[in-house]
A and B are shown apart, each in its own frame.
Chain A
Amino acid sequence: MNPAEQRAERRGGASAAPTGGEKPRARGPGGRWLGAAMFLPAILYVVAIIGIPFLLAFLYAVGDVRVGSVGYHFVGLQNFKSVLQSPAFRRSLTNSVIFTVGSQALVIVGAFTLALALRDKFRGRGVVRFLVMLPWVAPVSLGAIGWKWILDSLYSVINWVLVAMHLFRPFDAPQWLGRPTLAMLSVILVHTWHVLPFSTVILLAGLTAIPRDIPEAAAVDGAGFWRTLVHITIPMMRPILNVALLFGIIFTFTDMTVVYILTRGGPYDTTQVVPSLAFFTGILGGDLAEGAAISLFLVPILVVVAYLMLRVAHRAEVT
């Protein structure tokens, strides 16, 4: 949006005239009705597919529905209570936090480094960009199964290298997906691998938007790479770093694909996260009520992230 348009928008907002203030010609006679008619089908479709199940999720969570059972009894907060008391759920909540914080910390540092390296044009940049984007643009379930092969208990290429370097003896190399700590490390790293390119391109968009003359002026004034980075680039990147982080948190906290493919939550639930637990309880276990109650624990995170996202968007509009 250009500045003039923005000013017009803001003045229009301030006067809030019922006819639409600044832009009468934007509507024309009947424009409001046409607008509604063009907009409503999409909104109704999305509300039907998202809104109805969302309400149903609450309804399930305070009832006693199971697959195959008929009838519905209101049980109040019973399901939430039993979920909160279950060790499996507490474990999955802790795991989700470790999974999200761990991978997002790696993603932000890695993506920022990679974005800085990709900022300036150089020969072969297109090829490098294609290679580093692969983990994001390829279907995640297929990338994850590739990693399952790389981390295989017997034929892992990583272990072959470790053995060849004499760091481990054959048949005694790390069981990447079979030991609790290593399995958690593996799912974190594979998820990081998947999300990092996405954050990189977002940050790259932010980097290229910084006017060239500002870092150049800093360089003329004698500021080196690190000082320019800490005092100019990073502060100017704040809004876009927030955006990358917020999307990253959503894509990580609510995802179960990497965990499902690599470990199925194992060994012994040590990599079970909240969404995968909801899947195993509600879909495979058939306990719809408890499964719905578990998924609803994702809502607070979503609300906080959506609120922060709105603040970023709002600030970007005002300044």
Chain B
Amino acid sequence: MVLAMPREPIVCGYVASEERFPDKTVIIEEGASGRWIYVLLEGRAKVRKKSGGRMVTLYTMKPGAVFGEMGLFIGDDSLRTASVVADGPVRVGILDYDGLFKLYDALSPQLKGLIRSLFIRLRDTTNRVCLRVTELKDHQGSHPRS
């Protein structure tokens, strides 16, 4: 069997198992608990976030993209911050969480703190983006352009 390798074979070494999903499958659901980390091996997937009754599409991921990793780095049993939906049929790899956690845990507290704050900042900035997007859309809704 010929596998279409993602651009980063680095991540492939940590793929514990693989799964295929048809189009529009919700791979990760926002607000749900879960700690699995995935890597997209084939196809595309959209990252979406609920905000003010709207759904904001943040970005589309290509093969090689890792998702669901925030919980590992922020590490307070946080719930999933966004949904990941298959955009066409996809093949994903599930990464070895414990292996990754061991690597991360072995870092110095300084570097851990730095990486953690990067992910916290990413989470907060994403939240602010969503808030602004919905705010802007709401304004456009109430003041239609003539």
Q: Do A and B come from one complex?
A: no
- Which residues of B are at the interface with A, using a C-beta cutoff of 8 A? none
